[in-house]
A = this chain, B = another copy of it.
């Protein structure tokens, strides 16, 4: 099924369902109804049913869903049952946090190497991942057929680093730099916009009235 045929909001909700289902499984619960998931997750129950159907989950109106079955189906649909190898560039505080962050392999990405322009960082290991110098990037990316790049460099280095990634065969960039990248058609980008998210939070807080931030 092509992504174009699955609405983006569905793709955004499926990982939330997944995480909730994983919690149920860890708590030892075998069965769950779409209605219950809808209530807990604050999504309308017809929407939950539609989303699950789009992911290929079979409806079971009377008995409810088997938790393990739902998990396996969503994992397969999101390709979380397989892994993409990724290179990370920018071993600053955010890059280091991602290298230490648990659960990426379960979410379908394995960071197989990290890179930084600071040659003093080369040779270090962060978590399980070795840091290499930038001059090794292209040859390694090509040799290992790396398709995913994780961009955690400062804003001013983001475009040049993204260009290097694309020039090395990378086709999907997870961008943490607060910069809109200018990339060739066909290159896939997901921007993780920390500052935008914070801005929204503060703006909504301020609009909610009683606690305008102090000047």
Contact = CB atoms under 8 A, between A and B. Distances in A.
Interface string A53-83: 0000000000000000000000000111111
Nearest to A106: B195
Given A79-B202, A195-B107, A213-B108, A180 B42 contact: yes
B188 A79 contact: no
Interface in A189-213: 189-190, 192-208, 211-213
Given A83-B214, A108-B198, A171 B203 contact: no
A89 to B, nearest CB: 15
B194 A192 contact: yes
A78 B203 contact: yes
Interface residues of A, number: 73
A93 B215 CA distance: 31
A160 interface: no
Contacts of A174: 197-198, 201
Contact of A12 (B4, B16, B196, B214): B196
A214 B112 CA distance: 14
Given A8-B200, A41-B180, 13 more contacts: A3-B203, A11-B199, A11-B203, A15-B178, A16-B193, A23-B155, A81-B215, A82-B212, A82-B215, A101-B194, A173-B201, A190-B197, A190-B204
B202 A78 contact: yes
- Which among A40, A41, A200 has the greatest number of chain B C-beta atoms within 10 A? A200
